[in-house]
C-alpha cells in the first residue's frame, strides 16, 4: 500500500505518521469490504461518515480506518476520510511543535 501523500511533499517521517495513525485509529472496515447498502435501492450505498446514500463510484474507502466517504467527507489531498484527516492534522501540529 502506498502512502497517500503527494510525492512532491517531503517524504521523511510520513510513513511513520501513517503507521502511527493506523495504530491509533481503529479499523471500522477491512480494506476491500463494501460500504453498507441502501436496502431501498439496488445501486446505492451509505457514506460511513454522513450516512447519505451514494452510488459506489461516489464513495472512496479510507486507507486508514476503512470507512467509505462521499466527496464531502473525503480529503482528496491525503486520500483519507475527513475523520482521519482531523486526527492527522492534530499529529502534524504536534510534530511541528
Indicate whether 49 belongs to the interface with Zn ion (CB under 5 A): yes
CA atoms 33, 36, 42, 43: torsion sign: negative
How far, CA to CA in Å, does 78 sit from each of 3, 7, 18, 38, 75? Answer: 8, 11, 10, 27, 6
Nearer to Zn ion, 9 or 71 (CB): 71
Site string for Zn ion, 57-76 (x = CB under 5 A): -----x-xx----x--x---
Residue ranges that bind Zn ion, judged by CB under 5 A: 47, 49-50, 62, 64-65, 70, 73, 81, 84
Amino acid at each position: 500500500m502506498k502512502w497517500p501523500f503527494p510525492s512532491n511533499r517531503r517524504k521523511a517521517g510520513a510513513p511513520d505518521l501513517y503507521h502511527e495513525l493506523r495504530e491509533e485509529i481503529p479499523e471500522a472496515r477491512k480494506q476491500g469490504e463494501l460500504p453498507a447498502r441502501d436496502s431501498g435501492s439496488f445501486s446505492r450505498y451509505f457514506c460511513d461518515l454522513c450516512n447519505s446514500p451514494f452510488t459506489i463510484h461516489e464513495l472512496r474507502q479510507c486507507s486508514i480506518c476503512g470507512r467509505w466517504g462521499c466527496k464531502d467527507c473525503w480529503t482528496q489531498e491525503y486520500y483519507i476520510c475527513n475523520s482521519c484527516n482531523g486526527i492527522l492534522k492534530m499529529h502534524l501540529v504536534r510534530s511541528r511543535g
